[in-house]
Amino acid sequence: MPWWFFRRRSRDTAPTATSAQSPSGWLPGEVALPRLQGSRRYLQEQPYLLPKDLGEVNRLDFQHYILRALLRGNYLAPLQQPHRILDVGCGTGQWAFELAQQFPQAEVVGLDLEQVKPSASPPPNYRFVQGDILQGLPFDDNSFDFVHQRLLVLAIPQTAWPAAVQELARVTTPGGWIELLEVGTALQDYLPSGPATQEFYQLGSQLAALRGIDTDGTVMRSLARYLEEAGLVNIHYQALDVPLGEWGGRIGSLMALDAREAWKAINAPIAARFGRSEQEILQLIEQAYQEWTQFRTQLHFAVAYGQKPI
Ligand SMILES: C[S@@+](CC[C@H](N)C(=O)[O-])C[C@H]1O[C@@H](n2cnc3c(N)ncnc32)[C@H](O)[C@@H]1O
């Protein structure tokens, strides 16, 4: 499926179901979830799987602090004094707010489909720009000396990843850095896994596959290759295996809570898609949550960064 396939249909002619069927069997009409499903709010006409609502704002902020603790900071790239920083798919903006505070001389831009926390008072050197990485970024070539993108694996269809990273490289200044952080999407990224984890995973991955989203962990494992193909050099790749559950200490406990909430976030579309009740899927998620401690499950993440040649 070409990466531009998911352009908003309000601007493009809607492809017919027969002409536009993807190799995975995805049909265009299936992307558009009802705006409200169960108690959650989802975007329409986007492959993005997770909700956009207050519950998700809270989860993303919670997750931000876990990831910051895990990385012992907000990034791994060897930055000097960046002048312009871009966070693609900025979510609540928390990461970008903190970069703006850390580098008060820099201009920090957060880009997302929607601004979700407009009531927050961001630092004066931060600004939000509405945009869609699948349509190309609304910035000139060589605009930012640090471009960051975190956890868009459930938003960018697998075949669109190389072009999306090339787009990040286009807006990066020579000598500037790109950093990507992603989570694994394969069952093997929850290892070892119990039966409830496996059952929920199968449902979630079938839903993701309908949108062309990676379900075998290829994206996370290909981050360094995408950077290399986009022409970057000095590439570093770091795998992070994060415990789920109290057995993994504070980060393990928090990450298990976060993963459980992330799974709950797709409860409604899974229940609707597979003709199951939301209560039934919630019980499955609770069982999986217990299993993570019982089996000592680890969830796989990876960070990759690279430099645009001067
Ligand atoms: C899982 S959240 C991660 C948010 C943030 N990067 C973080 O780590 O907290 C994914 C974000 O990507 C945004 N997003 C989804 N599809 C997008 C697209 N095509 N272009 C830009 N942002 C997108 C969503 O709105 C959401 O805020």
145 pocket-lining for ligand 1 (C-beta < 6 Å): no
115 vs 295: which has the higher pLDDT: 295
d(CA 173, CA 310): 8
186 HSE (CA, 13 A, CB side)? 12
Residue nearest (by alpha carbon) to ligand 1 atom 12: 89
Quick check: 163 pLDDT over 50? Answer: yes
Contacts of 247 (CB under 8 A, 6+ apart): 293, 296
Residue nearest (by alpha carbon) to ligand 1 atom 4: 91
Calculate the average pLDDT of the chain: 89
89 pocket-lining for ligand 1 (C-beta < 6 Å): yes
Q: What is the CATH number of domain 45-307?
A: 3.40.50.150
Place of tokens 């201009």: 107
Span 215-222, average pLDDT:
98
Alpha-carbon distances of 253 from 111, 146, 188, 240, 262, rounded to whole Å: 30, 32, 20, 16, 14
d(CA 273, CA 125): 43
The neighbouring-strand residues paired with 144 are 172
d(CA 85, CA 80): 12
Least confident of 7-16, 116-125, 147-156, 207-216: 7-16
- Predicted pLDDT at 27: 36
The neighbouring-strand residues paired with 118 are none
pTM over 0.85: yes
The pick from 67, 113, 134, 179 for probing ligand 1's pocket by mutation, whose C-beta has the most ligand atoms within 8 angstroms, reads 113
297 vs 14: which has the higher pLDDT: 297
What are the pLDDT digits (tens) for 77-96? 999 999 999 999 999 999 99
For the chain, the structural domain boundaries read 45-307
Residue nearest (by alpha carbon) to ligand 1 atom 20: 132
- Predicted pLDDT at 217: 97
Measured in Å, residue 64 CA sits from the centre of ligand 1 at: 13
d(CA 73, CA 248): 20
- Predicted pLDDT at 118: 66
What are the pLDDT digits (tens) for 1-14? 333 333 333 322 22
Quick check: 273 pLDDT over 60? Answer: yes
Percent of the chain clearing pLDDT 90 (strictly above): 82
Place of tokens 């899974």: 270
Output DSSP code: residue 266: T
Nearest Cα to 177, choosing from 69, 83, 101? Answer: 83
Residue nearest (by alpha carbon) to ligand 1 atom 2: 91
CB atoms under 10 Å from CB of 225, counted, come to: 16
